[in-house]
Structure 1
């Protein structure tokens, strides 16, 4: 999946950190995606390195 589909408001999971829970995308500037995870807080992720999993329903 290309990170270009990630938009603010979308819900995602970090595949290497499932314990962080389902996060909400706050912003995306190029490949840098800021996600607010309920159990970890705001994290800036380089989507060229980590492929976030989009959560369509939960």
Structure 2
């Protein structure tokens, strides 16, 4: 898991760098490198934190 993904906590807003059309997502959980995010345009997605480094959205 990347250093950025390690600090993700529920409620934080993120973007998936490879899926910009998903829009902004809200982190639901981050357990064992599996990050569950609810994206505006895609819905709930479980992301492998070892494979994808999410971008934090500053609100």
TM-score range for the pair, normalised by the shorter chain length? over 0.9
TM-score norm. by structure 2 comes to 0.92
Superposed structure 1 runs of 4+ greater than 3 Å apart: none
Instruction: Name stretches of at least 5 consecutive residues in structure 2 with no aligned partner.
Output: none
TM superposition shift of 1:56: 1.1
Aligned length: 57
Query: Residue in 2 aligned with 1:56?
Result: 58
RMSD over aligned CA atoms reads 0.9
| TM score, norm. by length of structure 1 | 0.93
Task: Give unpaired runs (5+ residues) of structure 1.
Answer: none
